[in-house]
Each structure stands twice: as structure tokens, then as C-alpha cells.
Amino acid sequence: MLLSRFPRVSLAHLPTPLEHLPRLSKHLNGPEIYVKRDDCTGLGTGGNKTRKLEFLIADAQKNNADVIITQGAVQSNHARQTAAAAAKLGFQCELVFEKRVTDASKAYMESGNVFLDQLFGANIREVAKGSDMNDEMEKVASEIRANGQVPYIIPGGGSNPIGALGYVDCVLELIAQANERNLVIDSIVHATGSAGTQAGIVVGAKAMNSNIPVLGIGVNAPKKLQEEKVYKLSCETSEYMGLSGLVKRDDIVANCDYVGDGYGVPTKGMNDAILLLARLEGLLFDPVYSGKGLAGMIDLIGRGYFKNQRNIVFIHTGGATGLFAYHDLLSTK
């Protein structure tokens, strides 16, 4: 497997640190917890989409595009990192937002990620909850073409085989770090949404024959749907890399018991997890993804899910910029 075969631009600060969390580990009285700091990728306050964008933006350049189009929720971390990447490499950026969160506060609609999108100069359109987002992006692409420009559509979350290469790369990086310090990783845990992160991680972990189980904590869809989505993209990604047949259905495990009332709706477990990490380790996690991912990992440790495992790596996928959009919904007590 040679990732350098794929066009790539440099956007992220790599390698991201792998940090031990001694105070959290002691508090939970379970396995040792490490975080892979992909919240520190560096582009526009960082996060997991930056790794995907290194490959996606390179593909946009290869296609001679001059306008990047993508979509997400109003507080999309993916949209914010895409807006920053577009600015850095001289693309116009068009963002289509689904008003996925109903009864949203003023802070949700104006602060956090969406404020940064505006700073990065992206053009923003909002469409109703439940809109066909691929359709909506196609409409924008037609306008761009009619204007004599070349559009490049990045799917929601940057999740296609090209974007997932970013997380194949992340696993190579993580395994090198583990080997360097003689760390045996017994599990990788992270928040899973549009599936590109988990698909890339699973493909990389399998391609390296690392034998590390990967657990995605869902933030949106029910388990079966989430696992099917990740499985499909894992197969497409391994095929794209010339490694078809690499991933088996059993390699894909998602736990979707921590979604609560829905995407972007706070849960008590998430709130508690955010406070715990802030106060024990001085780390910031987000309400929509990494906070729910952590809540899942913490609860599962308590239930003995990782028993006999010594070391767990939680991939911190970022998102803390979204805290400012949620400050009125989160308790600091």
C-alpha cells in the first residue's frame, strides 16, 4: 500500500500528537486511555476533515475546478474546514446547509463554525430539514457552470473513497507512533457520522494487518444503517486503493446507543463527558460528535466492554469550535 500514489496537498499539521491521559484513566479505573489529537490538525481550528481534504482538494485541482461546493448541518465542522482549505488554495467556496436542528438558538445559527465560515469568505445557502442535499449541491453546480466556472462537489463530511484516504493515512501514522513507543493498542474508538473516518481507519488497520478492533460511536443513524454505510464505503475505499476484498462485514462495528434524541441534540452523558475531560485533562470536546463518542467510550468502560484490554486510543476528531454555538444548552455544573 503506497498512499503517495494519490494526489495530495498539504493542509494538516502532521503527525498529530498521541497523548496519554493518566488522570482520566485513573478516574475510570479501566484501560489506559490515549488520545490521537486530530483536533490539532491546524487548519481553521482543526479537526478530522482536514486529513480528508488533503486528498479531496488535490482531486479538485486535478479536475481544474475553481469552485468547491459542499454541504452539512449549520454547525458543520466539515464545512468550516472546507471553507478554510478553499481560502488557503484560492477556491471559491459554496456551502449548502440543511437546517437539521430544529428550534435552533441564535448562537447555533450564527456563532461557532458558521461564524468562521463567514470569516473564511464562504457563500452560504440554507435549505429545509430533509432536503435532498446532493440535489441541492447539483443545483449550485449548475449555477456555477452557467457562470462559466468549474465546480467540484465534495460530499457531506468529505466521505467518499478519496476523502477516506485521509484516515487510511491516519492509521499508518498511529501505528508508527505505537511501534516507536512500544505501545500495544488494543482498541481504537471514535465518533462516526458520515462514515469516512471509520472506513479509512478500518481499511488502513486491515491493510497493515494490525489486528486492532475499531469501534465507531454513532451520532446520528441507528446501528444497522450506520454499519452498512461504513461497510459500503470501506469496500469502495479498499477497491479504489487496489485492495478489493480486504474488509469483511464483521470488521465494521458501530455502537449507536449514545445518539440520544438525535443528531446534534445534547445528552447528559455527552455533557458529563465534556466536563470530565475539561477538568481532568484540560481538553475540549464537542457536543455533536466527539463528546458523544467519549460518552459512549466511558459508559462502555464502566460496563466492562474493554475488559482484558490495556490500552485504548480515542481518536479526537475535533469540533470544539461548536461549543460556542451550544453554550446555552450545556451545563457547566
Q: How far is CA 83 from CA 6, 19, 62, 154, 292, in A?
A: 22, 29, 19, 12, 25
Minimum CB distance to ligand PLP smaller for 271 or for 317: 317
CA distance 289 to 206: 25
Q: How far is CA 23 from CA 33, 181, 308, 316, in A?
A: 9, 20, 20, 17
Least Å distance between CB 280 and ligand PLP?
20
Q: Which three cell numbers stand for residue 189?
A: 474508538
Task: Give bridge partners of residue 151 from the DSSP assignment.
Answer: 67
Site string (268-287) toward ligand PLP, x via CB under 6 A: ------------------x-
Least Å distance between CB 256 and ligand PLP?
12
Q: Which of 45, 71, 92, 159 binds ligand PLP (CB under 6 A)?
A: 159
Q: Is 76 one of the catalytic residues? A: yes
Stretch that binds ligand PLP, among 16-24, 189-197, 249-257, 271-279 (CB under 6 A): 189-197
Least Å distance between CB 81 and ligand PLP?
8
Minimum CB distance to ligand PLP smaller for 55 or for 289: 289
Using CB under 6 A as the binding rule, whether residue 220 contacts ligand PLP is answered as no
Using CB under 6 A as the binding rule, whether residue 317 contacts ligand PLP is answered as yes
Which of these is catalytic: 25, 76, 194, 238? Answer: 76
Q: Which of 189, 191, 205, 215 binds ligand PLP (CB under 6 A)?
A: 191
Minimum CB distance to ligand PLP smaller for 46 or for 183: 46
CA distance 126 to 94: 11
CA-closest candidate to residue 330, choices 293, 280, 286, 282 = 286
Residues 6+ away with beta carbon under 8 Å from 60:
68, 91, 152, 154
Cis bond upstream, residue 15 (ω within 30): yes
Q: Which three cell numbers stand for residue 314?
A: 480515542
Least Å distance between CB 185 and ligand PLP?
19
Query: Around Cβ 304, how many Cβ atoms within 10 Å?
Result: 9
Q: Which of 55, 152, 258, 289 binds ligand PLP (CB under 6 A)?
A: 289
Positions touching ligand PLP (CB under 6 A) are 47-48, 77-78, 157, 159, 191-198, 286, 289-290, 317-319
By annotation, the residues acting in catalysis are: 76
